[in-house]
Amino acid sequence: MSAVALVPVALLGVLVGFAVPPLAGRFATRPAHFPAPSRRGRWVWLSPAVTGVVFVGLAVALGDDPALPVFLAVASVGLVLAVVDLACLRLPDPLVLAAALLALGGLSGAALLAGVPGRLPGALAGAAVAGGTHVLLALLPGSRLGFGDVKLVAVLGLPLGWLGRDALLAGLLLPHLLHGGVVLGLLAARRVRRDTLLPLGPALLAGSWLAVLLA
C-alpha cells in the first residue's frame, strides 16, 4: 500500500481513537478505577495515537487483502476492550460479541465478494483452535485465565486463521510472551505481588496485532 493511501487510514484511526475512552467508560463496571472525564487528558491524546499506529500497521501488513476493513473494525472494538480490561479487569460480553459478529460477518462477506471462499474455513478453524487451546489452559489447576479471555481469543482466532497457520501460531504465542514479560518487569520493580491479578486482554490484542504484522 502506498504512503498516500495510508494517510486516510491513519486519519480514520485517529478519529476512532477519540471515541475509545468515552466508549470504554460506558462499559467500566468500577467507575472509581476509570479516569474521571476531568482526568482523561492522557487517554484523549494517547488513544488516537495508538489507534492510528494500529490502523497503519494493519494496512501495511495486509495491503490489498479484501479483509482489511474487517481487521480495522475488530481492532477498533479491541482497543475499547483493552482500555476496559486495564481499568477494571473485565472483558464485557457485548463488546466481545460485537467483535465476533464483525469478524465472522465481515470475513464471510470478504470471502464471497473477493471470490476466495476457501479462506473462510481457515478462519473458522483458527477460532476453534484458539478457543479450544485456551479452554484447556483455563481448566488447568491454578490457572488465572478467565473465560472472558478465552472468548476473546476465540474471536481473534477468526482473523488470524484467515491469514493462515503461521499467523495463528504467532497469535497464540506472542500474547503470553508479552504478558509474561510485563509481569516479570512489574515483579522486578515491586509494583505487583505474585497474587496480583493483571489484565490479559491487552496482551492478547497486542500479540494478535503483532502476529498480523509478522504474517
pLDDT per residue as tens digits for the range 141-192: 888 889 999 999 999 999 999 999 999 999 999 999 999 999 999 889 888 8
Round to whole Å and give the CA distance between 35 and 68. 32
In one-letter notation, the amino acid at residue 3 is: A
Would you list the domain boundaries of the chain?
Answer: 3-214
pLDDT (average), residues 54-71: 96
Q: Quick one: pLDDT band at residue 196, thresholds 50, 70, 90?
A: confident
If one counts every other C-beta atom within 10 angstroms of the C-beta of residue 184, the result is 10
Residue-level pLDDT at 206:
97
Task: Output the pLDDT for position 29.
Answer: 67
